[in-house]
Amino acid sequence: MSDHDTDTASPGQGPLATLTPRIKAGVLAEALPYIRRFHGRTIVVKYGGNAMTEERLQRSFAHDVVLLKLVGLNPVVVHGGGPQIDAALRRIGKQGTFVQGMRVTDAETMEVVEWVLGGQVQQDIVMMINEYGGKAVGLTGKDGAMISARKLLMPDKNNPGASLDLGYVGEIASIDPAVVKALQDDQFIPVISSIGYGEDGLAYNINADVVAGKMAEVLHAEKLILMTNTPGVLDKNGNLLTGLTAKRIDELFEDGTISGGMLPKISSALEAAKSGVKTVHIVDGRVEHCLLLEILTDQGVGTMIKSH
């Protein structure tokens, strides 16, 4: 299946040349009902993990996003950059630290975050999408006053009633999607880095899964897709849970099955599902063309979350 889908994104080259016309027709026939159903709809994709650091997967992602745009869907990319931020911090002799899945961010770390997310990482994504025939535009929360943020005070799990100060880590006060909508209307693909700006004039590092979830809500997206480095949500025995409801997720939080970096991801997914995003998918970003497989074929590659 994945071989065939690889080909939908790279016509004229690679394995596609060796496929029979009948198999090619089968791939297109399978995609057609989905293309019809989602035509004109917004799909928000949180791009991160291995898919951002391995060139083969970067190219597969760029192909997929451009193809989705060409067949009439409206992809919006929200990206993280954890590995790149860690690498940049190491270069200046700093070690990244995390509390409950969130990065502790002092002033020096925030400078690095802004430089990496709003600069290097974002421009790499924009250039690669453009290379494959898309028209991508990079944005941070400052552009169009898009993401208003305030300092996040995180409840301390080990000390009920107390909260943790993670430095320049923010939560979303509000999102104004006007600039994103204007770009979509002009056939551009918005690429958004998860930096918000407060009324205090300071920049805040916001978890990219949280930004993607809220962006999907305010854009009334058809789908929110969160790319990760696992096959999806796994139970305690390592088995993939392909479909989850709000009730089941609460149970998984409660018994510790979902923890660490998956906490903000699943919380955002659930919040988006409860707030009107039709379906939320947690997909394995290590699978080539996982976006096409998840959106345009019968066989998904991860966990789907619905509100009930």
Judge whether 117 lies within some domain.
Answer: yes
CB environment 118-138: b (16+ within 10 A), e (fewer): beebbebbbebbeebebebbb
CATH of the domain at 145: 3.40.1160.10
Range of the domain at 260: 2-6+34-305
Judge whether 17 lies within some domain.
Answer: no
Judge whether 43 lies within some domain.
Answer: yes
- Enclosing H/E stretch for 141: none
C-alpha angle with apex 220: 257 to 123, nearest 5 degrees?
Answer: 80
pTM of the model: 0.87
Judge whether 29 lies within some domain.
Answer: no
pLDDT at residue 227 in the model:
92
pLDDT at residue 141 in the model:
92
Does 205 appear as a known binding residue? yes
Token pair in block for residue 232: 């999806």
Judge whether 15 lies within some domain.
Answer: no
Judge whether 19 lies within some domain.
Answer: no
Does 130 appear as a known binding residue? no
Does 82 appear as a known binding residue? yes
Residues 6+ apart with CB under 8 A from 175: 146, 147, 148, 214, 215, 218
What is the Cα–Cα distance from 120 to 88, expressed in whole angstroms? 11
Does 103 appear as a known binding residue? yes
Q: Work out how many domains the chain is built from and give that number.
A: 1
Q: Hey, is 125 helix, strand or coil?
A: helix
pLDDT at residue 16 in the model:
46
In tens digits, the chain (308 residues) has pLDDT values of: 334 333 333 444 433 455 577 777 877 888 899 999 999 999 999 998 778 888 999 999 999 999 999 999 999 999 989 889 999 999 999 988 888 777 889 999 999 999 999 998 999 999 999 999 999 999 999 999 999 999 998 888 788 888 888 999 999 999 999 999 999 988 999 999 999 999 999 999 998 999 999 999 999 999 999 998 888 888 888 888 888 887 888 888 888 888 777 777 888 888 898 888 988 999 989 988 889 988 988 777 788 888 76
pLDDT at residue 19 in the model:
59
Judge whether 26 lies within some domain.
Answer: no
Judge whether 40 lies within some domain.
Answer: yes
pLDDT at residue 18 in the model:
55
What is the Cα–Cα distance from 120 to 122, expressed in whole angstroms? 6
